[in-house]
Amino acid sequence: MAATTRHLPVVQNARAWPLRFTVVGLSIAAAALFCASYFFPWWRLWLFAPQYPKGLEVGISLTGVSGDVRELNILNHYIGMKSLDLAAVTERRLAAQGVGLIAALGVVLTLVTGRRVGWLIAVLGAAFPVTFIIDSQYWLYHFGHVLDPKAPIRLPPFTPQMFGTGKIGQFMTWARPDPGFWIAVAGVACLVLAAVLRRRVCNQCARKEKCGMVCPSAFVGPGAGLAPKE
């Protein structure tokens, strides 16, 4: 008697669902962290000199500067440096919209990107704090190199340090990241982990060979992980 072969229906791997929802949860957590970082200072700078033994302190956030800004602007006037309030005006005006867009894109890309471009999630997250550092470094360079030649005190062009110790004239400086930056970095870590886990899920998906730029099942849609119907 010939053995009969029973063809069982292809059932989606149930273990993939917890991973799928974990990935989405991580992207939502990243969005929340990015939004939270908007409300905290991202960088802090101290300046020390004999006449300021306790130092002058400035906090840099996505919306502007705080701390001993008035005192520093007075000192900057003597060396021909522009007022700190004139730095990154456009960036500060668009900061809220930019953070909201990045937060939303992280979640959207998690849901819609295909297997081949799932890494875009991590790239988007990393671009947020990296762009802040690059833009801040540009303004520090610009302010230290575009000095009024008619200023009472002439200094050679300089670029304030963004990390660690530095020197500007008779001032010693110390700079480091502040909570807002580290909150954003935590958001980046969430998106990187989401991208890694998403790759693992996509490698188990029945549609992985045909998956391109866009996920055919929106990652957590009704047909997620199931082979397409013939």
Which pLDDT score is estimated for 226? Answer: 66
- Residue 101 identity: L
In sequence order, what are the beta bridge partners of 214? 113
Which pLDDT score is estimated for 229? Answer: 63
pLDDT, mean over the chain: 88
Residue 194 belongs to some domain of the structure: yes
Residue 164 belongs to some domain of the structure: yes
Which pLDDT score is estimated for 61? Answer: 95
Residue 211 belongs to some domain of the structure: no
How many domains, the chain? 1
Residue 220 banded pLDDT, cuts 50, 70, 90: confident
Residue 4 belongs to some domain of the structure: no
Q: Which domain holds residue 188?
A: 17-204
Mean pLDDT of 78-100: 93
Which CATH number do you get for residue 189?
Answer: 1.20.140
Given a cut of 70, is residue 151 above it in pLDDT? yes
CB count within 10 Å of CB 217 equals 16
